[in-house]
Amino acid sequence: MKASAISHRVFCLHADIKTDDLFEGIWPIPEGVSLNTYLVKGEKIALIDLIRDWTGAPGQVEDALKGLGLGFSDIDYLILNHLEPDHSGWLREFRAQNPRAEILATAKGINLVKSFYKIEDGLRAVKDGETLDLGGGMELQFFETPNIHWPETMVTWEPKSGTLFTCDAFGSFGTLGERVFDDEFSPAEHDFFEKETLRYYANIVSSFSLFVEKAVQKLSALDIQCIAPSHGIVWRKNPKTIIDRYVRYASYAKGPAEKEIAIVWGSMYGSTKQGLDAVIRGIEAEGVPYSIHRIPDENVSYVLADAYKSRGLLIAMPTYEYAMFPPMAYMLDIFRRKHINGKTVLRIGSWGWVGGAKKEYEAAIEPLKWNSLESVEWAGSPTAEEIKVLEDRGRELARTVSA
Ligand SMILES: Cc1cc2nc3c(=O)[nH]c(=O)nc-3n(C[C@H](O)[C@H](O)[C@H](O)COP(=O)(O)O)c2cc1C
Ligand SMILES: [Fe+2]
Ligand SMILES: [Fe+2]
């Protein structure tokens, strides 16, 4: 992949990762992900964020460097905004090729360089607001933005071009191909990236929304011309678009989110589905948009994205061995871990002889501070009266969500 110029001294070099591997060992990335690194040229040369050795990423970045007439051995400073291995996994190999480059990170980041990579020399901890003079009128400045999403995270600012290198913040899933800038993608491609940004945010960043808000506030005085994250699109035309998007996503953590309902359902033989169809008729009668996800068929990554952005949830599952349908227990555990708080929720489900989902469910959602509507359970398949109640409850959920 060739390097893309942000200015005549600032370049994006990226590797596209296409793999069946799960991101962070948990989230599917069928459309891949990009690992972006950035090169800033003064008299000295800085590389911002590294890569891991994943589907040939080092070779892809090396090719881009070659296109600029450079190699890894020409780098004077390696800036590590974040030490998660997707941005640092290749550090020892980099070091072997270039023993003289100084590695810069926050103090907490430097500790992680030592513990993950057993590198002790040529390290420099930078403080909040500190600058690095690259010569030739080029300078970098570092701002700590802790907990997006690790404790050591910082962003790097290049004032000449007004570029903010944000690592995971403002990132997205999805490969880039030959284009990296926001103004190079079609509306349909932007729709794709918007969905993948929400999923990335809900999967990776949502638990740290408070810190996203703090970081955006802290950096608001900068005259940002370009947002350069280490995954996904580089925003040189409309950086505000991605900032606003992240601010909106961060606000969902406190509620209220979008006036939509995410339906999450599982069923063994279809009895729960019969009741679910009635609730959906009620929701449709009120005209409230909904997404629908069957588990475990659908990966939790996608369910999480829609649940995160929706005000309302509809949870439908049968009783299984005196407790919840197991995939729902896993889903609710993920909701708890990812702080899917403050939702308006309806639970429904079928049981055979005594039930049991209710008890386990109520304990599971206790920490989530959900506004629960009265749940509906029935034996076997629902009666005509139960169908009527389910339809009404669907309308009630929809009305509450759209109020
Ligand atoms: C493996 C299995 C375990 C079950 N465990 C219970 C149970 O502990 N208590 C109960 O009342 N019903 C139990 N049932 C019955 C189901 O809850 C009941 O058939 C329900 O209608 C299934 O809904 P579904 O068709 O949406 O899966 C169980 C059914 C299966 C297949
Ligand atoms: Fe990360
Ligand atoms: Fe990352």
Q: What is the C-alpha to C-alpha distance for residues 348 and 375, in angstroms, rounded to an integer?
A: 6
Q: What is the C-alpha to C-alpha distance for residues 262 and 198, in angstroms, rounded to an integer?
A: 14
Judge whether 231 and 35 are in contact, CB under 8 Å.
Answer: yes
Residue 355 CA: nearest ligand 1 atom is 11
Q: What is the C-alpha to C-alpha distance for residues 342 and 6, in angstroms, rounded to an integer?
A: 41
Compute the C-alpha angle 203/118/153, nearest 5°.
Answer: 35
What pLDDT is recorded for position 242? 98
Judge whether 224 and 264 are in contact, CB under 8 Å.
Answer: no
Testing ligand 1's pocket by substitution, the residue of 272, 320, 353, 360 carrying the most ligand atoms inside 8 A of its CB is 320
Testing ligand 1's pocket by substitution, the residue of 264, 315, 319, 359 carrying the most ligand atoms inside 8 A of its CB is 319
Cα 277 to averaged position of ligand 2 atoms, centre (Å): 40
Structure tokens at 217: 């506030």
Testing ligand 1's pocket by substitution, the residue of 321, 325, 361 carrying the most ligand atoms inside 8 A of its CB is 321
Helical H segments across 52-208, by residue range: 57-67, 91-97, 107-117, 187-200
Residues of the chain with pLDDT under 50: none
- How far is Cα of residue 7 from the mean position of the Cα atoms in its chain? 28
pTM of model > 0.85: yes
* Nearest to 7, CA basis, from 48, 43, 51, 42: 42
Three-state DSSP string of 336-402: HHCCCCCCEEEEEEEECCCCCHHHHHHHHHHHHCCEECCCEEEECCCCHHHHHHHHHHHHHHHHHHH
Q: Hey, what's the torsion of the CAs at 36, 37, 40, 44, to 10 degrees?
A: -170
Atom 4 (ligand 1) nearest CA: 320
Cα 376 to averaged position of ligand 1 atoms, centre (Å): 16
pLDDT tens digits, 281-290:
999 999 999 9
What pLDDT is recorded for position 43? 98
Q: What is the C-alpha to C-alpha distance for residues 99 and 122, in angstroms, rounded to an integer?
A: 8
* Nearest to 379, CA basis, from 315, 316, 318, 294: 318
Residue 323 CA: nearest ligand 1 atom is 8
Cα 330 to averaged position of ligand 2 atoms, centre (Å): 23
- How far is Cα of residue 345 from the mean position of the Cα atoms in its chain? 24
Helical H segments across 201-350, by residue range: 209-218, 239-252, 271-286, 300-309, 326-337
Judge whether 145 and 246 are in contact, CB under 8 Å.
Answer: no
Q: What are phi and psi of 382, to 5 degrees?
A: -70, 140
Testing ligand 1's pocket by substitution, the residue of 273, 351, 360, 377 carrying the most ligand atoms inside 8 A of its CB is 351
Cα 320 to averaged position of ligand 1 atoms, centre (Å): 5
Beta bridge partners of 143: 155
Report residues whose beta carbon is within 6 angstroms of any ligand 1 atom. Answer: 267-273, 318-322, 350-356, 380
Q: What is the C-alpha to C-alpha distance for residues 234 and 259, in angstroms, rounded to an integer?
A: 30
Structure tokens at 31: 């459309």
Cα 260 to averaged position of ligand 2 atoms, centre (Å): 29
In the predicted model, what is the mean pLDDT of the chain? 97
Cα 325 to averaged position of ligand 1 atoms, centre (Å): 9
Cα 155 to averaged position of ligand 3 atoms, centre (Å): 13
Judge whether 300 and 331 are in contact, CB under 8 Å.
Answer: yes
